[in-house]
Amino acid sequence: MNKRLIECVPNFSEGNNLPIIKQITDQIESVSGIRLLDVDPGKATNRTVVTFVGTPEDVIEAAFLGIRKACEVIDMRHHKGEHPRFGATDVCPFVPVSGVTMEETAEYARILARRVGEELQIPVYCYEFAAFEEKRKNLANIRSGEYEGLPEKLKDPEWEPDFGPSEFVSRTGSIAIGARNFLVAYNVNLNTTSIRRANSIAFDIREAGRILRQGDQVTGPVIKDENGEPVRVPGSLKKVKAIGWYIEEYGMAQISINLTDISITPIHVAFEEVCNKAIERGIRVTGSELVGLVPLDAMLQAGRYFLKKQQRSTGIPEKEIINIAVKSLGLDDLKPFIPKEKIIEYILADQDNHPLINMDLASFADETASESPTPGGGSISAYMGAMGAALGTMVANLSSHKRGWDNRWEEFSDWADKGMYYVKELNRMVDEDTHSFNLVMDAFALPKNNDEEKKIRKEAIQAATRYATEVPFRVMQLALESMDVLESMAKIGNPNSVSDAGVGALAARSAVLGAFLNVKINARDLNDRVFAEDILVQAKEIETLAIDKEIRILEIVKAKI
């Protein structure tokens, strides 16, 4: 999962008129590459929360179109609702999902903010990580006074918008555009029906803690500071909001938690802390549930955490790590947890095109044997490399669990993690090689009716051919690097599996040599001979190193068997 993804969660000030909401979401979905994940209208709040995901550029465009349409169909002069608001599009946060840093996400939010301010002439405030000054980080500060207070607020030089006019726009109001961490709504199930006891646990863990009282913590007088404010005893977890409640549908109490920054308090940390606090109060956690969606990395972190607690290797396939997370957190306690419906990256993967790595072995072989030119030698080389790395990873995992080697599990887990990296990357290159071939074919198919078209076509062919040379070269690099794992496992791994390390070495070396053939055949068609000769020299060095390393590994293997 290396795609650069941002989640956008705009809140529109309309929660009752479904046709109006549909007009807005239609604009968002009109951007190719955008995946609309959720539309949640609230009648009492008269507000709709929309969630969609895409690449940064697509998200900026989709958000802009949604905001523009909201300006056309929502009139704030007639808006009433229970939720604080000050604009037709009240807030529009960007959330990094994968392959994008928070700093980059904040900059993308500012790009959108500038565009909205300049093109739509709406007063725009940037908040949280996108804020330009400290007091504007807090959304509550920006939105204080709400829509009705905007005319006076906009006259205050301290509240001049970051972008757009410093004038009250009665129809649209203002908008807050920002960048924030992923918020996870997470409930932990208890074997009690007591709301009071559930609340006690919630107060134990939430950052705000509980109000300090004299004597009886429930009914005693509130203790206040010198300013007359209630004194609070902070809870044990940062960036956590929590409350206890009773769910009649389930016949149990829950701790309802908002994890506002899972980089500070991840899901598994919150779960473990609730478990500990519950035990102190004679209560047991029976499981938990995720409300809405969760990033893949959050689930992988949880799975690895519990594997390490069990002193087990973390270098196992992704789906197995997720299964450990689901079972350890009890996410299937109330209903089945289906990863492809709950994990953002898996939902988006339905749109991705990975026909080869999704095939079963027989179908892959049949497709290779067919009249189609793909998959060809490049994809097969990548797959041989993946299988070689997989064998090395297997030996590491078997070594991690070998009886009598308990004190070495972490060492072998580290090797297994390295091996899984090469497995995943080389698997990805199976389809990438086919993709690079298709790019070359697409370039050759471009029109050539005049000199300009011929020039464009020639440049496209060269660019695609260069990429088709770089892909198998990357396969060579990865396959060679994976041989470090195989050599180590042949030396120190479970001796009963040393032959597997040997077969892995054979596969890795074959991947290098096979990919080299593809580098050569594509490099010959490059006009940039400096680049072509340089990559061929580097590829030859990799080939030599791979052959030498294969010989060393096989000598170790033969000596042990």
Please tell me which residue in 58, 90, 162, 433 is annotated as part of the active site.
433
Query: Catalytic site residue 433?
Result: yes
Q: Report how far apart the first and last C-alpha atoms of the chain are (Å, whole number).
A: 39
- Counting beta carbons within 10 angstroms of the beta carbon of residue 265, is it exposed (0 to 12), middle (13 to 18) or buried (19 or more)? buried
Cβ neighbours of residue 2 closer than 8 Å, sequence gap 6 or more: 98, 99, 428
C-alpha distances in Å from residue 384, one per residue of 331, 389, 393, 420, 476: 36, 9, 14, 14, 11
- Helix (H) or strand (E) holding 211, with range, is strand 210-211
Please tell me which residue in 79, 83, 354, 401 is annotated as part of the active site.
83
Cβ neighbours of residue 48 closer than 8 Å, sequence gap 6 or more: 11, 12, 14, 15, 21, 24, 39, 40, 41, 42
Q: Give me the sign of the Cα torsion angle 214, 216, 220, 222.
A: positive
C-alpha distances in Å from residue 434, one per residue of 4, 126, 427, 459, 513: 21, 43, 12, 20, 18
Cis peptide before 495 (omega within 30 of 0): no
Tell me how crowded residue 285 is: count the other CB atoms within 10 A of its CB: 22
Cβ neighbours of residue 473 closer than 8 Å, sequence gap 6 or more: 515, 519, 535, 538, 539
**Contact (CB, 8 A) for 330 and 274:** no
* 109 vs 124: CA distance, rounded Å: 11
Tokens of 501: 């390390």
**Which residue in this structure is represented by tokens 């649209």?**
172
Tokens of 217: 């913590």
**Which residue in this structure is represented by tokens 């009963």?**
496
C-alpha distances in Å from residue 149, one per residue of 134, 139, 140, 450: 21, 15, 13, 62
Q: DSSP secondary structure string, 476-538?
A: HHHHHHHHHHHHHHHHHS-GGGHHHHHHHHHHHHHHHHHHHHHHHHHHTT-S-HHHHHHHHHH
C-alpha distances in Å from residue 18, one per residue of 8, 12, 25, 75: 20, 12, 10, 15
**Contact (CB, 8 A) for 2 and 81:** no
- In the chain, how many H helices and how many E strands? 17, 13
Query: Catalytic site residue 83?
Result: yes
* 125 vs 160: CA distance, rounded Å: 9
Q: DSSP secondary structure string, 256-312?
A: EEEES-TTTS-HHHHHHHHHHHHHHTT--EEEEEEES-B-HHHHHHHHHHHHHHTT-
The set of catalytic residues is 83, 433
